[in-house]
């Protein structure tokens, strides 16, 4: 089974690691948000691509969620002493990937090709694709004005109130051939438990991408990023409140509406399954270690396989939902 997973940062990278562990090498392809990308210290930084790559390679920092394990920050301190910008935590090991990528981008090599070289050099069997080779930049409209994503997310620590989010360059962005092929070849498509507004929406904001996903024969399953009325990581719940939405998995289901063929709900929210109009898998979605990532990966794949086969996935609630969808 060829599986394509859409992912942003931390939550997406966790499930990606679980899916990779649950599948034969090469069966998984990741399609990753690049709306967070930005220029810093003259380098092109792709935080979500790097988080996914570091997680898949097992060199990520599990405490912070971003960056590499056993990281040092010597260049950052030296940069600060030189009067340079020091609000974004670029580590010494991490810096290598930004230098390599930036040099290749300047040579005219596509981000898709660069990402493929980087994941291979870290020994990753899973294909990792940026959502586009054309820059798309997430802009957060807040009560303090419009903030480029990293200024909202890191510099201002998600404190400003969010009014809306837009994706500069999305309308003109092209899908890469590799992304088109990955969608066409997929037997199952998974939306990882990433922030819908900041991680999955930018991917879907590329008109050709959304159209390809709607056309895709593979069923699309989303895993909830909201558990028990809050987001496990990041500002998803805070943003829902600020944008006048319920802090609920149902808000996520609504968001993906026309794309969704199945939804993975956390046990804490089991009561909501009857309110969801697509087949639902209820399970533990909180990933704390490789085991829990792998279990959620396996369960998501089994649920998806049933949808591929056109069969109901779980008990009565699922039967009801299958019949109503």
As beta bridge partners, residue 250 has none
Number of residues that bind a copy of itself (CB under 8 A): 28
Q: Which residues contact 306 (CB under 8 A, 6 or more apart)?
A: 279, 312, 313
Q: Closest distance between a copy of itself and the C-beta of residue 135, in Å?
A: 17
Residue of 273, 228, 231, 235 lying closest to 253 (CA atoms): 273
d(CA 226, CA 233) in angstroms, rounded, equals: 9
Judged by CB, which is closer to a copy of itself: 94, or 269?
Answer: 94
List 26, 62, 84, 315, residue binding a copy of itself (CB under 8 A)? 84
Q: Closest distance between a copy of itself and the C-beta of residue 115, in Å?
A: 12
Rounded to an integer, what is the distance from CA 151 to the centroid of its chain?
A: 19
d(CA 234, CA 322) in angstroms, rounded, equals: 32
Q: Closest distance between a copy of itself and the C-beta of residue 93, in Å?
A: 4
Give the x-and-dash track for 28-47 against a copy of itself (CB under 8 A). -------------xxx----
Q: Closest distance between a copy of itself and the C-beta of residue 92, in Å?
A: 4
d(CA 65, CA 200) in angstroms, rounded, equals: 18
- Restricting to residues 49-78, name those near a copy of itself by CB under 8 A: 72, 74-75, 77-78
- Restricting to residues 91-110, name those near a copy of itself by CB under 8 A: 92-97, 99-100, 102-103, 106
- Restricting to residues 109-168, name those near a copy of itself by CB under 8 A: 117-118, 121-122
List 82, 145, 244, 258, residue binding a copy of itself (CB under 8 A)? 82
**101 contacts 82 by C-beta, under 8 angstroms:** no
Residue of 172, 120, 152 lying closest to 47 (CA atoms): 152
Alpha helices per DSSP H over 130-176: 149-150
For a copy of itself, the binding residues (CB under 8 A) are: 41-43, 72, 74-75, 77-79, 81-84, 92-97, 99-100, 102-103, 106, 117-118, 121-122
């Amino acid at each position: 089974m060829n599986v394509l997973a859409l992912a942003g940062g931390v939550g997406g990278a966790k499930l990606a690691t679980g899916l990779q562990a649950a599948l034969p090498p090469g069966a998984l392809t990741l399609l990753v948000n690049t709306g967070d990308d930005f220029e810093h210290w003259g380098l092109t930084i792709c935080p979500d691509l790097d988080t996914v790559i570091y997680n898949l390679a097992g060199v990520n920092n599990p405490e912070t969620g971003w960056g590499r394990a056993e990281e040092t920050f010597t260049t950052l301190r030296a940069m600060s002493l030189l009067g340079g910008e020091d609000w974004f935590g670029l580590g010494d090991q991490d810096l290598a990937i930004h230098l390599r990528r930036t040099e290749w981008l300047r040579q005219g090599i596509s981000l898709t090709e660069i990402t493929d070289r980087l994941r291979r050099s870290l020994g990753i069997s899973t294909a990792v694709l940026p959502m586009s080779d054309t820059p798309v930049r997430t802009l957060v409209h807040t009560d303090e004005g419009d903030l480029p994503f990293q200024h909202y997310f890191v510099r201002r620590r998600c404190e400003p109130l969010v009014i809306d989010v837009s994706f500069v360059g999305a309308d003109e962005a092209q899908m890469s051939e590799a992304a088109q092929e990955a969608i066409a070849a997929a037997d199952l498509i998974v939306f990882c438990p990433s922030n819908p507004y900041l991680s999955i929406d930018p991917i879907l904001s590329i008109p050709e991408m959304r159209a390809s996903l709607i056309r895709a024969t593979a069923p699309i399953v989303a895993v909830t990023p909201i558990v028990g009325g809050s987001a496990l990581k990041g500002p998803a719940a805070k943003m829902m409140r600020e944008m006048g939405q319920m802090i609920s998995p149902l808000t996520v289901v609504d968001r993906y509406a026309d794309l969704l063929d199945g939804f993975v709900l956390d046990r804490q929210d089991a009561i909501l399954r009857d309110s969801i109009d697509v087949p639902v898998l209820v399970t533990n979605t909180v990933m704390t270690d490789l085991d829990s990532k792998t279990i959620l990966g396996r369960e998501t794949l089994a649920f998806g396989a049933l949808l591929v086969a056109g069969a109901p996935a779980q008990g009565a609630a699922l039967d009801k939902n299958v019949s109503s969808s």
